[in-house]
């Protein structure tokens, strides 16, 4: 194994170890993957962002759409590093300007995501960024919102993927990247 691959494997192992498990949060039976421990180590967070940037560059996005709220942390760092505009995807009533929205189904009920009406130009290649891919519903709704606005989903990139929840299946129309998986 070459030095770079060993360093990558070591970095991935450090990132995995740094993510803290919090049992029964936000409700009983959930094992929450807490990334604040990664954010608290600037070098480690930088490594996570660097690895995500490597993944994103292959898709040549024109801009990044980050999903509320922890996705903003990765999205802002990636947009800065890659020299790309950053757009925010939020719950209703959180963006200050005129918005376009997309309603989507949850297990029990519906939800809505919004983006500014001038955030995505027709034909723009957009990378979706979030901290975690779980069931895939929010990311799929974000992708459909981007397409509804005339954009093209270049890829979706996550710091963590919870593979046992099979969220990738809801994103099967688009390329999906992740840094670490559980």
> What does the pLDDT look like over 143-156, one tens digit per residue?
999 999 999 999 99
More confident residue, 155 or 105: 155
CA-closest candidate to residue 89, choices 67, 110, 74:
67
Instruction: Print the SS3 string covering the chain.
Output: CCHHHHHHHHHHHHHHHHCEEEECCCCCCCEEEECHHHHCCHHHHHHHHHHHHHHHHCCCCCEEEEECCHHHHHHHHHHHHHCCCEEEEECCCCCCCCEEEEEEEECCEEEEEEEECCCCCCCCEEEEEEEEECCCHHHHHHHHHHHHCCCEEEEEEEEEECHHHCHHHHHCCCCEEEEEEC
Per-residue tokens: 64 = 């990044």
C-alpha 88/C-alpha 142 separation (Å) is 10
Determine the pLDDT at residue 50: 97
C-alpha 45/C-alpha 37 separation (Å) is 9
Q: What is the pLDDT of residues 70-92, one digit of tens each?
A: 999 999 999 999 999 999 999 99
Residue 42 gets the label, from left (phi > 0), alpha (psi -120 to 50) or beta, of alpha
- Domains delineated in the chain: 3-181 (3.40.50.2020)
pTM: 0.94
Mean pLDDT of the chain: 95
């Amino acid at each position: 194994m070459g030095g770079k691959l060993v360093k990558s494997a070591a970095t991935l192992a450090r990132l995995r170890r740094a993510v803290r498990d919090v049992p029964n949060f936000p409700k009983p039976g959930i094992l929450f993957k807490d990334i604040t421990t990664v954010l608290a180590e600037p070098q480690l967070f930088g490594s996570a962002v660097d690895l995500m940037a490597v993944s994103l560059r292959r898709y040549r996005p024109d801009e990044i759409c980050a999903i509320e709220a922890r996705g903003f942390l990765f999205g802002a760092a990636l947009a800065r590093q890659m020299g790309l505009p950053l757009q925010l995807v939020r719950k209703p009533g959180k963006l200050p300007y005129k918005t376009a929205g997309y309603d989507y189904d949850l297990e029990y009920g519906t939800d809505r995501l919004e983006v500014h009406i001038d955030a995505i130009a027709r034909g723009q290649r957009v990378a979706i960024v979030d901290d975690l891919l779980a069931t895939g519903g929010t990311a799929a709704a974000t992708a459909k919102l981007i397409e509804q606005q005339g954009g093209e989903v270049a890829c979706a990139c996550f710091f963590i993927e919870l593979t046992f929840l099979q969220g990738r299946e809801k994103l099967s129309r688009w390329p999906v990247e992740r840094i670490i998986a559980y």
